Amino acid sequence: MNAELASQLKARTAHRTARARAVSALGPLTIVAGLAWAFVQPYRITLLHPRGQGFWWLFVEPPLWVVVVGILFALGVAPGLIEDLAAEEADAAAR
């Protein structure tokens, strides 16, 4: 039974196109970019040194928002786009 599941996984992931791989890579690349931005410019993350800053100043952290957007894209948007790409390619192959 395990070999059957492994073969199904290989069959499902083996035929992904370059477009599907690019869409699935956008989320993780955005997360890495946000983390790199936070590392290169740590003064932008005022949570590290909140000297007299109000809530909104602390809430709006650009590098952290980039990471959040990357996570939301990877978990919420990319799976649907990949399904649509697979359906489009299946329709094109059926013609």
Per-residue pLDDT reduced to its tens digit, 3-17: 666 666 655 555 678
What are the tokens at 85?
């790409």
Amino acid 48: pLDDT? 63
Contact status, residue 58 vs residue 4, Cβ threshold 8 Å: no
Instruction: Quote the pTM value.
Output: 0.74
Angle CA 72–76–78, to nearest 5: 100
